[in-house]
């Protein structure tokens, strides 16, 4: 059966009525809690229905202040957040959520609003989906983000150039000071520490860190810039995460050692 695609107005494309899916079964004990924030009731209902059928415990809010209240009352494992909200937009909601804890955020944006998508990544969104979108695609994105957010119990700590990453604890430090990293920033830093000295293209990093075979490569660029801002002594002249012109990026812990 062909799946509906939800537009920025909540309407469905390809002639499929945007009816809500069948009621979801009760979530399993310990199911991940997802907060869906969208002022379009149709979009919120369909998204919540699909997530519920996928086994998630879903809460909903139709504006920014309500989202913050719901999050404070029952802290979510992930937030699906519309960028365009009345009163307090999604960027501000994301900032306030990220100021409290590193909750993963999947942002919904209108197609073509590249600047807004980049802003969403800049304030800490871990992923984004452009409208119109397939609810099934969104569920897959949610599953991917939550899967990467789980502690890697078998992975041991990593250390180089004054940076340490503990994948099991999802904790990173620089010279003993804890770094406030988003989910993807953490994964990106851990990947670099595991593979020092090798140059990777943006396509390589998207596949290895994000788990996508295709996507908007500006996502990688934005995360590299943010990660440099948190790990480099001088982000304007990065030494650890170096640009390899015509290729991509390389993590070079020896550059810091040589400098010191």
CB 162 within 8 A of CB 174: yes
Instruction: Name every residue whose Cβ is closer than 8 Å to that of residue 244 and which is 6 or more positions away in sequence.
Output: 199, 250
Q: From 62, 79, 217, select the one nearest 141 (Cα to Cα).
A: 79
Alpha helices in 150-199 (DSSP H): 183-194
pLDDT at 46: 92
Q: What is the pLDDT of residue 42?
A: 92
Q: How far is CA 41 from the centre of its chain?
A: 23
Say how many CA atoms lie within 13 Å of 212 toward its Cβ.
19
pLDDT of 232 reads 95
- pLDDT for the residue numbered 5: 61
Are the C-beta atoms of 106 and 138 separated by less than 8 Å? yes
User: Structural domain boundaries of the chain?
Assistant: 33-149, 158-259
- The two domains 33-149 and 158-259 share their CATH topology (first three levels equal): no
* The CATH number fitting domain 33-149, selected from 3.30.420.40, 3.90.79.10, 3.40.50.2300, 3.40.50.11540: 3.40.50.2300
User: What pLDDT is stored for residue 12 in this prediction?
Assistant: 42
Per residue in 213-255, pLDDT (tens digit) is: 666 788 899 899 999 999 999 999 999 999 999 999 999 998 6
Q: What is the pLDDT along the chain (260 residues), one digit of tens a residue?
A: 445 566 545 444 333 334 445 555 666 667 899 999 999 999 999 999 999 999 999 999 999 999 999 999 999 999 999 988 988 999 899 889 888 877 889 988 875 566 766 777 777 778 888 888 888 889 988 988 888 776 554 567 899 999 999 988 889 999 999 998 888 899 899 999 999 999 999 999 988 888 776 667 888 998 999 999 999 999 999 999 999 999 999 999 986 544 44
CA 9, 120, 210, 45 torsion-angle sign: negative
Per DSSP, which regions of the chain are E strands? 33-37, 57-61, 78-82, 105-110, 127-131, 158-160, 163-166, 171-174, 177-178, 199-200, 241-244, 248-251
Q: pTM (2 decimals)? A: 0.65
Identify the CATH assignment for 158-259 out of 1.20.1600.10, 1.10.10.10, 3.30.413.10, 3.30.420.40.
Answer: 1.10.10.10
pLDDT recorded at residue 169: 83
Token pair listed for 96: 């306030």
């Amino acid at each position: 059966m062909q799946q509906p695609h939800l537009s920025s107005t909540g309407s469905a494309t390809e002639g499929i009525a945007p009816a809500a899916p069948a009621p979801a079964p009760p979530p399993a004990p310990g199911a991940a809690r997802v907060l869906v924030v969208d002022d379009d009731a149709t979009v919120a209902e369909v998204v919540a229905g699909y997530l519920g059928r996928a086994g998630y415990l879903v809460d909903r809010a139709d504006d920014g202040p309500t989202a913050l209240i719901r999050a404070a009352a029952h802290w979510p494992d992930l937030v699906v957040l519309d960028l365009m909200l009345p009163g307090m937009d999604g960027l501000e909601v994301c900032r306030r959520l990220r100021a409290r804890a590193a909750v993963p955020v999947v942002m919904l944006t209108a197609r073509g609003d590249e600047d807004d998508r980049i802003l969403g990544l800049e304030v800490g969104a871990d992923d984004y989906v452009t409208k119109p979108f397939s609810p099934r695609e969104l569920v897959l994105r949610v599953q991917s983000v939550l899967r990467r957010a789980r502690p890697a119990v078998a992975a041991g700590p990593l250390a180089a150039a004054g940076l340490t990453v503990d994948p099991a604890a999802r904790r990173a430090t620089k010279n003993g000071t804890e770094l406030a990293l988003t989910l993807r920033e953490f994964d990106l830093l851990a990947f670099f520490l595991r593979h020092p000295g090798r140059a990777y293209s943006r396509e390589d990093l998207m596949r290895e860190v994000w788990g996508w075979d295709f996507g908007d490569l500006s996502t990688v660029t934005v995360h590299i810039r943010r990660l440099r801002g948190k790990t480099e002594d001088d982000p304007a002249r990065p030494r650890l995460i170096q640009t390899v012109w015509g290729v991509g990026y390389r993590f070079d812990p020896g550059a810091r050692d040589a400098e010191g």
